[in-house]
Structure 1
Amino acid sequence: IGDYPYTKFALVENFWETGYGMPSFTLLGEKIIRFPFILHSSYPHELLHNWWGNSVYVDFNTGNWCEGLTAFMADHLIKEQRGAGEEYRRSTLQKYSNVVTPDNDFPLKDFLSRHDGASEAIGYGKSMMMWQMLRRKIGDKKFVEGIALFYKQQKFKTASFNDIRIAMETVSGIDLKDFFNQCVNRKGAPEIAIDRIISVKEEGYFHNILKLKQVQKYDAFDFNIPVSVLTDAGLETFEFTMNDKEQTFEFDTKSEIIKVAVDPQYDVFRILNPAEVPSTLSKIWASNENIFVLPVEAEKKNLDIYKKFAQAWKDADNDNFTILFDNEINSVPEDKTLWILGFENKFANEFSSEISKYKSGFANDSVNYDGKSIKKTNNSFIITKARKNNINKQDIFISLSNEASIAGLIRKLPHYGKYSYLAFSGEEPTNIAKGQWDVVNSPLVKIINEGNTDVSMFEKREPLAKLKPVFSEERMMNDIKYLASKELKGRGIGTPEIDMAATHIAKEFKKAGLEPIGDSYFQEFSHEFDGMGRIILKNVIGIIPGKDEKFKDQVVVISAHYDHLGLGWPDHHKGDEGKIHYGADDNASGVAIMTELARSLAKSATPARTIVFLASTAEEAGLIGSRYFVKHVKEYFKDGVFANINLDTDGSLFDKKLMVLNANTAREWKFIFMGTDYTTGVLTQVVENDLDASDQVAFIEQQIPAVQLFTGATSNYHRPSDTPENIDSKGLVKVATVAKEVVVYLAERKDPMPFTGSGAPAKPADDKPKTARKASTGSVPDFAFKGEGVRVGSIIPGSAGEKAGLMVGDVIIKLDGKETKDLRTYSTLLKQYQPGDEVELNILRDGESKTLSLVLGAR
């Protein structure tokens, strides 16, 4: 769009909690300025204001165009680059739909600045959507050219919406007067509904008729409406011009239609139907008439907490609140929002029942959110849902763990308006869970015929602008393809091929600029294996030396094991004996990410602490390499290890959250990864269970904080099918991005990070291969599950579990009458059985107890 117009940009702390963009600097409040996410939210927004508002000035007589344009080209663009553009636009439309009414609506030409929710929804949200619609209308290339021309023509001048229109017309050759007139001078928004769709089979094709309506009370709007059509042959997209209250569109498809979605990616500025979006707290905050419902049956201590919360919120909020006991309400008032306080409340069970469709609800000692369990003890819960008989009305449930958390909740909750459910821990309190309910019955999606309806209805698009990637997807995949090649035969212990892998890693470490740990990149040692004799093993180690004399000998270790199973030792499934186990995901993926981190950090980092890159050997045989490193680390670094980030099985992220295993080993882990969620846009799932998962256990045994970044087990785990073509290459970049944030933070952290895990095992580790289970239920566990039992994450097709009727989401609570409290207990119990043994599984399915009889299969 043009060069930065000033010689500097300063971020200055302000005594007001707001953002003020000035030429060449911005003022941010003392609280917001300390949050890590401002680098990807407030900071780029205020930086862009040096173009929009501070070098092209706003003609306030014709409306403030710069806030919406800045939101579109900064906030929205960042979300779009992270694959969350649709979510951002939906939230924008949802906010407008929730807070703007006929009484407080106004056209963009009258927007000067934000002063309440409605003015923000119009001046920022409606304006942002206007630019999205214009971009779709003239195309990305012409939009960018038009913005650049506008900047060139109007730099250091006062400009209006009309000046932007002229620039866009110049580059596109399209008359945009009607478009700008409607967007800028008219208030309101269209509401769209599907009237009907008919599909007729013709010779060689299908002829389809779609009738849409604009159901708002006022006159029709003129806009382009995108339609996605899923057919037997795949996804097709169409765009129609709608300028009447009722309109029929005809189009042909080569194959039969399965599903139709109107504006599935939220490209049109419009009022959303309540059924299109999840219930969110923003609608609760916008409610003017409210009733706090206190539980009359609550213990005095809990009742006092609820009363204090209700009064404190009432004092802080300008809306109308009445405080009543639950036994004073016989029927739910249609015009008031209920604030249901406490699990003891007579309305709590019904509330729990109504959120069961989202795999959520209240148990005796926990709350389930989308199948994940959170203990009630010392935690607070905030949940909203649509009212059963009136989707336009929402109610809220709140449970508080202690009185001390009230002030923090009242301060924090208004900032969580886009969420459907929240959980907070402790007195501060700290957010530990948040999310939105799934949309299950959108009126703008119609299923026409049977077929695979789970296919995404989103058209693949590129963001308006791309950042140059810090990490190379291609380089990482090349590393994986070599390490998991036929030439390296599975990198088995004691083979020439594992030595070839070690040599490759050492060469890449040297090429990246890492220093060796001593005279060599290899840490060689020998180990006695049953039936194999004494074998020479080697860890591969490179370092970035620390620069701070106080901290350089207290190191941060990033690790990944490079061995695998070779031809099936020490583990293999029945029928896989003698076959190459390629080990692409486990763990060529982790090695590739670690090597790419070395390439990036060796060039850019000047850490206080030394960063150690450890490619460990013999993990599959019992963490032998990592245990040897930990035992001898003080020979190299006198203060030992500060923390460990272990990368293992990181090639299958796709659209899942990145799991952080063993996060109970330091209190700080969950806060660190909350920060990376904001700064990277890659969502993580912190798992605080004790898991004997990988090399991080060698560090945990010595009471060193350590976690594993893990993308989840797949059906290819420890099988010959674990090959490079199954790797999510884009996911590698995401994992690397998170890992870099964490490693750099730890390398600079001055405060200690005390170990909080369960510590070393009762008996010393013997460095022997783990006893392999021979029998299997055919299920893959959900490692992120926090409740008691083992939740089924997936079922292997054709397995014992599938035959017995085991389903994804089932929680296994007993195996042959023995409790399976956690994954470790479950795995230990299974080792007692053989393939062909018949067992009885006690499971929980959607909160109900069931019993299954299952004949165990072979692993």
Structure 2
Amino acid sequence: MPFRLLVLLLLSALFYAAFLNPGPSLAENPETPPTTLEEPVLRIPAVSGLDQLARDMNVLAADALEGRDTGSPGMYEAAEHIRKRFYEAGLVAPKKLPDSFQTFQLPSPPELGDDNSLATVLPQGKQTWKLEEDYIPCSFGGEGAFSGPVVFCGYGIADPEQNYDEFAGVDLKGKVALILRRVPGQTRPGSLYVGENGQIDTNVAALRSKMTNARKNGAAAVLFVNDLFSTREGKDELIAFGYGGSGGRDEVPAAHITQKAANQLLQKGLGLSLQEIDRSIESSMQPASAELNELTIEGKFDLQFSRTEGVNVIATLEPEDPENAETIVIGAHYDHVGWGKYGSLARGTEAIHNGADDNASGTAALMALADRIGKFKGQLKHRVVLIAFAGEERGLLGSKHYVESPVYPLAETRAMLNLDMVGRMSDEKLTVFGVGSSSVWKEWLDELERETELNFFREAKALGPSDHAPFYEKKIPVLHLFTGLHEDYHRPTDDIDEINIIGINRVVDVLEGITLALADSDARPDYIENKEWIQVGRHAGGRPFVGISPELDFEGNGFKLKAVTQNSPADHAGLEAGDVIVGVNGRGVNQRADFWAVVDQLKPRDTLQLQFIRDKQKLSSELKLDPPR
């Protein structure tokens, strides 16, 4: 291991010895500079380095930035802050980008126009469907008219390697694909696309993946319908327009239809109900794809597209000999989903999504790294380039643009390290994806794990839904640091009150160690190819879904609910907004953390015995947990 990395690890040990007596909080320290955010404010122990991390978190996750949607004023304000912090740390703009801003064009989220139609064409006539009652166009699909026979394609999975291809044996060219949401085997933990903890394979379940599979097989359009596991108590909800983000004119038209509408098609075309077909697939784990008889679908979707601009913020720490140096890229995306109109998992909610963990945490860690390595300017063997990416939430657009228009040659790029969602560390756990992308990672991580006393969960696979993937596809070794999924993901409740600032700082310790090892070693990391995709939710601590949002300003004992998600486990258990949970599974609940500590020990389909207060009455209920969503 390079000498500087060993020195760093010794310094880290001294830091944590000092941290055992952390001192007063930010709120108690009159010398701490004020933040730009009044409430809520991330409060931290007064330990060197953490105060700046907290200030950066408070800036990026402030309501004033309105969720940092790519192309929005909030994105530009965040970009200015990041650039300023990079320069303060001693980094400089690349020669090719004198202002550090690499701009790129991207489609703005579409608006739903007025000229939409969908109808079933039968021998006896046409049956017209009602917009927002029977169907809703998908914002990530394309626009325009289409017409064709209907082919039921199961869950829309094309996985020949696992001998599960629902497009095999059917002719989809010029036809309309009818596809179920989620994955088969949801009642069978440990089955093909479901983890032992009940977590489904999010890559296979993604609607965009299903649409891509259908398009590759020649589909003229795609109709999605809720599978049996997506509905409870007969509630069959259409997704909101904007769910899944935006696609573009080149995509095939797509819509989400009700189970009632799908049943009409299947009964007429196959003589079977959706429930019968879904249960058959669930029990046999075999595709049941088939073309529907004697009917066609015709439709037209009116999506109004425009374009906007994204900005990657790029700064560099120049090495001792720039002419003979290679490059290490460290990145984090700083954009989020704005007001949640596009990309929110809180159905029917239009509110600021501050994205404190996703990914103000990674961006703040990136700026903290800049502070730490700035003192090595002109001393390292290789160049360190820091990039804050925009457009990640729109499909990794910023990182894809960089690898197509690199500021420094990709052939001379040694590795890419990615920070995405590093703000919720618990139990000293840190997930490291991409360990199998180079043979050097294991030895370095072994040393760092011992010295930092963290517990690394290591995943060899590197391809995943974050900004390291475009680099890996260009044959560059990668690592992605990650502290896990949670119930606030892509919801308005992903706010700074749940951020573990000390955990972020410990992630930066790991990141600094790897960065200095890369920048000060002679041997270049080798590249190992693996085309398998990471199943993020299965491996990274996805919490079973409950369906509740906290009242952040509540100061009493217990866990007060601000909202209950419709058709969620909490809804089915009879919980309501305003309820205060005071007990779970025989344990008292004095604050939110007490409740989640119990949930985090359980798996989907386990039950909670709840005690809660409503209108001064103590009530009880049983809640059955769902898989993470």
TM-score, with normalisation over the residues of structure 2? 0.49
Structure index of larger Rg: 1
TM-score, with normalisation over the residues of structure 1? 0.37
Which of structures 1 and 2 has the larger relative contact order (alpha carbons within 8 angstroms, sep 6+)?
Answer: 2
